[in-house]
Amino acid sequence: MQAEAHKTQLKATLEELLRLHAEEALALRRLARDELDALTDRKLSLWEQLRAICVECPPGPDERDALERIRRAALHNQILLHHARDAVRTILQSASGQPLSSPSNRPSAVQDGLRVDFRG
C-alpha cells in the first residue's frame, strides 16, 4: 500500500516538474526576472522532494516517458536561457555605447575563417 502511495507521489512530482518547465519557458521568453527567481526556488524544492521520493521508490520504466519529457523541456529552457542572456548582453552593450561583440565565445579570427599555412 505504501509503495503505491510513493508511486502516486512520484508521478505527481514529475508532472509538477514538467508544468514548472513550461512556466519557466514562458518566463524566459518574457525575461521576467522575478518570476524566474520564484520558479528556481520551486524547482529546487521539487528537486529535493523528488530525491526523497526516489530513495523510497526509484523511477522505473513507467516513469521513463515523463523523465524524457522533463529532460527535453530542461534542455529547451537551457537554450532559451542562453539566448536571453545574449539578448540582454547585446542590449546593454548597445545602450552603453560599447562595440557589439559577437554572440559566440570563439575568437574573431576563428569566426572570420583565418587560414594558417603550416607547410612553410
Number of structural domains in the chain: 1
**Grid cell 502516486 in the structure block, residue:** 8
Residues 62, 66: Cα–Cα separation, whole Å: 8
State residue 39's pLDDT score.
Answer: 95
Residues 69, 50: Cα–Cα separation, whole Å: 16
Residue 109 lies in a domain: no
Residues 97, 118: Cα–Cα separation, whole Å: 40
Q: Taking 80 as the threshold, does the pLDDT of residue 104 lie above it?
A: no
Residue 10 lies in a domain: yes
Q: Which residues contact 63 (CB under 8 A, 6 or more apart)?
A: 10, 11, 14
- What is the domain range of residue 55? 2-99
The phi and psi torsions of 15 (rounded to 5 degrees) equal -65, -40
Q: Taking 80 as the threshold, does the pLDDT of residue 64 lie above it?
A: yes
Q: Taking 80 as the threshold, does the pLDDT of residue 110 lie above it?
A: no
Residues 51, 69: Cα–Cα separation, whole Å: 18
State residue 84's pLDDT score.
Answer: 86
Q: Taking 80 as the threshold, does the pLDDT of residue 112 lie above it?
A: no
Residue 47 lies in a domain: yes
Residue 93 lies in a domain: yes
Least confident of 16-20, 84-88, 104-108: 104-108
Q: Is 83 helix (H, G, I), strand (E, B) or coil?
A: helix
State residue 91's pLDDT score.
Answer: 85
State residue 93's pLDDT score.
Answer: 85
Q: What is the mean pLDDT of the chain?
A: 85
